[in-house]
Amino acid sequence: MADGQFTRPDGFDGLETPCLLLDADRLTANVATMRAGLDRLGVTLRPHLKTAKSLDVARIAMASPSGPATVSTLREAEHFAEGGVRDLIYAVGIAPQKLDRVGAIRRRWGADLAIVLDSIEQANAVVAWSRRTGDPMPVLIEVDADGHRSGVDPRDADTLVAIGRVLSDGASLRGVLLHAGDSYGLTEPAALKAAAEAERAAAVAAAAILRGAGLPCPVVSVGSTPTARYADNLDGITEVRAGVFMIGDLFQAGVGSCRIDEIALTVLTTVIGHQREKGWIITDAGWMALSRDRGTARQAVDQGYGIACDMAGQPYPDLIVRDANQEHGIVALRPGSSAPLPDLPIGARLRILPNHACATGAQHDRYHVVADGRLTGAVWPRINGW
């Protein structure tokens, strides 16, 4: 093949593959849509940055350069605090061994970094730390909206009040925090609306218990992308935490939280071979580039390891990454499809829409930014680790 056969005016030919592309136009539109919806409901957006893990993305998603924002690792908290974000919630149950690191972030960057917990044991540890350091740690009590994972049952007044009273003896009780994780298993709009209302009701009930006991509860925080999309009423809620909405992925499209043409993330890959008798196109993006997430296998439409798109980001009919090895992707037609297999010679390039933006992003240390269908030349660093 002649040199320059795959040279394109959009600039993608200069990139080594596999690599991560981020469509800034889609990202900005997704943030604007979510913010407008929450503005109508009268609540603050506290974007969760666990998907993006990028200060450049955070500055688009947040209301101001100082926040508010949510993180899921202390590495994220350090990164964003160093970048000027001051209003942060670390939304994973606290381990006592991490309190010194939380305190260091608060001191070094002057960050108002709050933590979450759901047990008296944790509360006692936080109070002991707060007394020892003279820093009354801000805390939200995690409440269980749907039995998905962690949190106090919102009907368990005894435990909620007991935790709140322990915290009042040295720490700073900020309020309650919920995450409707079971919403990720739903697909019908009516069910998603019901999940959003159940999350709201649980949060409001827990806040009422604390306030009824004379305890402070200024913050009532809920959040998941599906419930944020489908909520009709957020009375009693002060803020919504959602994160993957800004980037989107195939799992969220299967839930109904976004459309495929709103997904802002793709993995750029190169064709490196064929198994024509099997109908396979081999690429250089295996599961090390795409992740091993197969979440769509449990949905109505199994997208394999991702949907294969042309260089304009348009999906080829029924063309998916059917299988993946560590550094090889096997691109083929969806089982049962009668669509034509595209003629993609060695050296041709594809863009793969991911199943799970968080997991795929975690395989990479930067975004190559796309706007108006062209590579802009901007490279936005992203971080990983805990």
Task: Tell whether the model's pLDDT for residue 274 goes beyond 70.
Answer: yes
Using CA atoms, how far apart are residues 70 and 288, in angstroms rounded to an integer? 27
18 upstream amide cis, omega within 30 of 0: yes
Task: Tell whether the model's pLDDT for residue 265 goes beyond 60.
Answer: yes
Using CA atoms, how far apart are residues 210 and 299, in angstroms rounded to an integer? 39
Task: Tell whether the model's pLDDT for residue 10 goes beyond 80.
Answer: no
Using CA atoms, how far apart are residues 80 and 381, in angstroms rounded to an integer? 12
- Name which of 254, 230, 280, 225 is nearest 354 in CA terms: 254
Going by pLDDT thresholds of 50, 70 and 90, the confidence category of residue 5 is low
Task: Tell whether the model's pLDDT for residue 363 goes beyond 80.
Answer: yes
Q: Is 108 exposed, middle or buried (0-12, 13-18, 19+ CB in 10 A)?
A: exposed
Mean pLDDT, rounded, for 8-18: 87
Per residue in 140-179, pLDDT tens?
999 998 877 899 999 999 999 999 999 999 999 999 999 9
Q: What is the pLDDT of residue 147?
A: 78
Mean pLDDT, rounded, for 97-117: 98
How many degrees, rounded to 5, is the angle at CA 235 between CA 233 and CA 236? 145
Q: What is the pLDDT of residue 345?
A: 97
Task: Tell whether the model's pLDDT for residue 288 goes beyond 50.
Answer: yes
Q: What is the pLDDT of residue 3?
A: 39
- The pTM assigned to this predicted structure is 0.94
CA distances from residue 226 to 78, 154, 186, 193 in whole angstroms, order as listed: 28, 21, 9, 9
For a pLDDT cut of 70, what percent of the chain falls above it? Answer: 98
Mean pLDDT, rounded, for 327-344: 96
Going by pLDDT thresholds of 50, 70 and 90, the confidence category of residue 6 is low
Task: Tell whether the model's pLDDT for residue 2 goes beyond 80.
Answer: no
Going by pLDDT thresholds of 50, 70 and 90, the confidence category of residue 21 is very high
Q: What is the pLDDT of residue 292?
A: 96
Q: What is the pLDDT of residue 4?
A: 43
- Name which of 227, 230, 46 is nearest 146 in CA terms: 227
Mean pLDDT, rounded, for 255-266: 97
Q: What is the pLDDT of residue 1?
A: 35
Q: What is the pLDDT of residue 338?
A: 95
Q: What is the pLDDT of residue 8?
A: 65
Q: Which amino acid is at 110?
A: G
